[in-house]
């Protein structure tokens, strides 16, 4: 499977305001609407709102590449010069997430969905 860029997560301070704004932009209701995360799905794109993103060090939106084997993908990126930012962690239901920085400090998010 070729990596696909399908998820973008925005750190937000005002989750209610962001939910309203992105709902208007995307023209859909969220598929997940929790105090810790809101997610919209539209046109094969997942848009997430993370009210804890800033406290996790997010300074802006992070794009997540969907990969088949996250451990292998992280290892290949580290071998190519990336720096680990967030080790592989389980979000529940077998969904795994990790992030690395490229040589210029740009964040590359990786996600593996079962």
Strands (E), the chain: 4-11, 32-34, 37-42, 45-50, 62-66, 83-92, 95-101, 107-112
Same domain, 59 and 87: no
Per-residue pLDDT of the chain in tens (114 residues, 90 and over written 9): 688 889 999 999 999 999 999 999 999 999 999 999 999 999 889 999 999 999 988 889 999 999 999 999 999 999 999 999 999 999 888 999 999 999 988 999 999 998
Question: How many structural domains compose the chain?
Answer: 2
For residue 87, the domain's CATH number is 3.30.720.110
Same domain, 46 and 81: no
- Residue 85 token pair: 């930012």
Same domain, 58 and 91: no
Structural domain including 98 reads: 68-114
- The predicted pLDDT at position 57 comes to 82
Cα distance between residue 102 and residue 84, in whole Å: 9
Same domain, 47 and 76: no
Place of tokens 């239901």: 93
**Closest-CA residue to 22 (of 14, 54, 57, 2):** 14
């Amino acid at each position: 499977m070729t990596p696909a860029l399908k998820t973008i997560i925005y750190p937000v301070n005002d989750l209610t305001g962001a939910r309203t704004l992105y709902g208007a932009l995307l023209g859909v209701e969220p598929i997940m609407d929790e105090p810790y995360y809101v997610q919209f799905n539209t046109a094969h794109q997942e848009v997430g709102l993370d009210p804890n993103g800033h406290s996790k060090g997010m300074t802006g939106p992070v794009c997540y590449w969907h990969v088949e084997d996250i451990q292998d993908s992280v290892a290949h990126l580290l071998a190519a010069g990336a720096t680990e930012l967030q080790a592989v962690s389980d979000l529940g239901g077998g969904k795994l997430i990790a992030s690395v920085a490229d040589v210029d400090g740009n964040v590359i998010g990786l996600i593996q969905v079962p």
